[in-house]
Amino acid sequence: MIALSSGDKIRGAASAASALDYTIHGFVGSTPTLLANGQLPSTLSDLFTASDTTVITAIIVVNTSSSSTTLNLYLQPSGGTDRRLIPVDLSLASGYSLHYEGGKIKVIDDAGNVLTRTEAPNFLSLSDTPSSFSGEKNKGLIVNTSEDALDYESVAFMDSLGLRNKIINGDFRFGQRGTSFSSPASGSYTLDRWRINYDGSGQSHTVSRQSFTLGQTDVPGEPQYYFEYQVTAAASGQTTNRIEQPIEGVRTLAGQEVVVSGYIKTDSNRSVDLILQQDFGTGGSPSSAVETNLGTINATTSWQKFEFTATLPSISGKTLGSNNDDALILIFDLPTGVTLTVGLARIQVEKGSVATDFEERPKQIELALCQRYYEKSYALDNSPGSITEATGLCMNAFNGYWVRMTVYFAVSKRASPSITLYNPSNGSTTNPIRNADAGSNEAGSATSLTEKGFRVTWQDNSNTTGHFGIVQWVAEAEL
């Protein structure tokens, strides 16, 4: 919002007169008021002049002409200099609209799609008005008080951390366990950080990572993959059918406004409820989970964007479980007892009231976030149990001697993980050490587990000479 004193002005201009309609909304005292309306002139002119203390809450400009028109808006303190409200002159296509609301700028196309959002300065008083503002999408402002005048700099304060989106693997790039799963059990993780949860009997289903066609425009941003859940045989007696991702820590966004966005399509018209569940964990006597229903997605056979906001309940007075597994869980609550196909793409959960563009973190950062919960010795494209020695742990042993090799994780785990050892010659977890020299499969174990790593123990009883052993491993510390 913008606070005006008597004599302060909102001014504007367009590249063509009578092409852009505008309305200015706000409060005079405590009364909500339509402050001004009309059409932008072709020369910089006054649109509204405050006669008393006034708060501007929204300025809306709509291009009613048949061609693109350039505009800008300015704030002029009484007796002062014009200051831009929009970083640069903006070209607004025919039928498009500009919305300056609550310190944010967004552009909406003629189909109602939000094309871009920009953080704009939230001027509490005109004495704080900057001489310039270089705004960009998802940027914030820094106030430099080391000088007499206030300076505003554009800064990617959250983008620099790459942690705006609380969802991990929201674009489904990583599938360390594999990229196709046939009837995984309820509670099983599939693509990294995503699990399914269902009940009933007799259901057949698959979870897979599907590829977008290069250059498609149904889901913007040129994503590579999407998540697909297909139920091919319906369950009987089913009351639960969900796609979920638990976000570590129930404190996440507690008591704050949150927005969930993404893209969805289904095999036919389907109603999908979107839920955020505050789960207080297990062990001891934790509080019962609290679900906030954000709304219902009316999904169709075409990709469509969804965006829902809610304020999560406070967790004051709640009790956490003792197992350090509390979480905020994003849930897609699907129809039950039916065959169906659901596709999800570019899923995002973030603080705020308006969804920003999907956060595309570098691959190495996204993978590291995934590996806090799941890591393997195999190459990324090799599923656990694959027949391969590549990148496995190698050990040398002598007859009768124990070998103990320490494995250090690439990323520290959420907690001490469970370790599964795999034989690289047959994919078995029984006798997981492959004695390459003797051509035998031998016993081995994982011990001394911590969030930093573990130890593999092997005793070679096959020969008096040195032998070469190989083992693959998986570490899991999911919620």
Q: Which of 240, 104, 53, 258 is nearest to 166 (CA)?
A: 258
- Residues 266-279 have pLDDT tens digits of 999 999 999 999 99
Tokens of residue 25, six digits: 């909304």
- Residues 98-137 have pLDDT tens digits of 988 755 778 888 887 776 555 444 433 333 333 333 333 3
* pLDDT over 70 (residue 149): no
Q: How far apart are CA 72 and CA 59, in angstroms?
A: 12
Residues of the chain with CATH 2.60.120.260: 180-358
Q: What is the pLDDT of residue 57?
A: 87
Q: How far apart are CA 256 and CA 247, in angstroms?
A: 15
Please, which residues have CB within 8 angstroms of residue 145's CB and are 6 or more apart in sequence? none
- Residues 337-349 have pLDDT tens digits of 999 999 999 999 9
DSSP secondary-structure letter at 86? S
Pick the range with the lowest mean pLDDT from 195-204, 261-270, 354-363, 470-479. Answer: 354-363
Q: How far apart are CA 92 and CA 90, in angstroms?
A: 6
The dotted CATH code for 180-358 is 2.60.120.260
pTM reported for the whole predicted model: 0.70
Give me the mean pLDDT over the 321-325 stretch.
Answer: 97
Number of neighbouring beta carbons within 10 Å of residue 22: 21
Q: How far apart are CA 293 and CA 315, in angstroms?
A: 17
Characterize 305-317 residue by residue with b for buried, 16 or more Cβ atoms within 10 angstroms of its Cβ, and e for exposed: bbbbebebeebee
Q: Are the C-beta atoms of residues 107 and 59 closer than 8 Å to each other?
A: no
CA atoms within 13 A on the CB side of 327: 17
Q: Which of 403, 375, 397, 443 is nearest to 434 (CA)?
A: 443
Q: Are the C-beta atoms of residues 473 and 420 closer than 8 Å to each other?
A: yes
Q: What is the pLDDT of residue 464?
A: 56
Q: Please name the residue ranges forming H helices in 45-196.
A: none
Q: Are the C-beta atoms of residues 138 and 156 closer than 8 Å to each other?
A: yes
For a pLDDT cut of 70, what percent of the chain falls above it? 87
Residues of the chain with CATH 2.60.40: 376-476
* pLDDT over 80 (residue 361): yes
Q: What is the pLDDT of residue 463?
A: 62
Give me the mean pLDDT over the 436-464 stretch.
Answer: 89
Tokens of residue 461, six digits: 């009883």
Tokens of residue 20, six digits: 């852009």
Tokens of residue 328, six digits: 């905020």
Q: What backbone torsions phi and psi does residue 226 show, to the nearest 5 degrees?
A: -145, 160
Q: Are the C-beta atoms of residues 69 and 36 closer than 8 Å to each other?
A: no
Q: Which of 282, 262, 259 is nearest to 272 (CA)?
A: 262
Q: How confident is the model at residue 31 (pLDDT cuts 50, 70, 90)?
A: confident
CATH architecture of structural domain 376-476? Sandwich (2.60)
Q: How far apart are CA 336 and CA 341, in angstroms?
A: 12
Q: Which of 23, 79, 15, 78 is nearest to 43 (CA)?
A: 15
Mean pLDDT of the chain: 88
Tokens of residue 317, six digits: 């007075």
Tokens of residue 57, six digits: 């809450």
Q: What count of residues does the chain have?
A: 479
CA 141 to the chain's CA centroid: 23
